[in-house]
Amino acid sequence: MSNPNEPHYNQAPPLNESELRSAERPKAVDTAYLLWLIAAGLSVVANLLGFVTQQAVVDQYVKDSGLPPEIAESAAPGYGSIIFSLVIVALWVVVVLQMRKGANWARIVLTVLGALSVLFSVLGISVLLSIGFLGVLQALLGLAGAVVIVGAIVFMFKPESSRFFKAS
């Protein structure tokens, strides 16, 4: 048994004033948060537009690849894909909210998924541009979303943002 009057040598050192203050969220994190929400909104609009252009995209892909036309007939747009994309966007916003609170895991998840989103947006442009006005509009929305995502990632990794995530 230990004597309550004996000094304790395993105590942590006292916290200084900066450690006692909660980490104040920098403007860069708020900017990243707003950019992520804008990207989510652009994604919703692009996905709804994608519902309209899906059959034309499949038709163009079949034509370019030389696959049998029956494949295009079996790829009719469905409401399940819209519902799925809206659920994904809702989860995206939940992760964005966690990032704004200082969760470093959310910053990492957003960075990885954002980079993949940018990659797929860029890769899909050529097919979208070949299907007409709605395809061009969808490609422009995808490019705008990609630019916004890159901006959000940059703001999440500014030095003041990194200090905030480290302190949180």
pLDDT (tens place) for every residue of the chain, 168 residues total: 555 565 555 665 665 555 545 568 999 999 999 999 999 999 999 888 887 777 777 777 777 777 776 666 666 666 777 788 889 999 999 999 999 999 999 999 999 999 999 999 888 888 788 888 888 898 899 999 999 999 999 999 999 999 999 998
Q: What is the pLDDT of residue 2?
A: 55
Strands (E), the chain: none
Neighbours of 126 (CB within 10 A): 11
Tell me how far apart the alpha carbons of residues 147 and 36 are, in angstroms, rounded to a whole number: 11
Tell me how far apart the alpha carbons of residues 168 and 120 are, in angstroms, rounded to a whole number: 32
Q: What is the pLDDT of residue 12?
A: 57
Write the CB contacts of 28 (distance below 8 Å, at least 6 apart in sequence). 155, 156, 158, 160, 161
What is the identity of the amino acid at 33? Y
Q: What is the pLDDT of residue 135?
A: 82
Q: What is the pLDDT of residue 127?
A: 79
Q: What is the pLDDT of residue 138?
A: 87
Distances (CA, A) of 68 to 61, 62, 75, 91: 11, 7, 13, 37
Neighbours of 112 (CB within 10 A): 11
DSSP 14: P
pTM of the model: 0.75
The closest alpha carbon to 44, from 84, 1, 86, belongs to 86
Q: What is the pLDDT of residue 83?
A: 86
Q: Which token pair is 20?
A: 């006692």
Write the CB contacts of 85 (distance below 8 Å, at least 6 apart in sequence). 43, 44, 47, 50
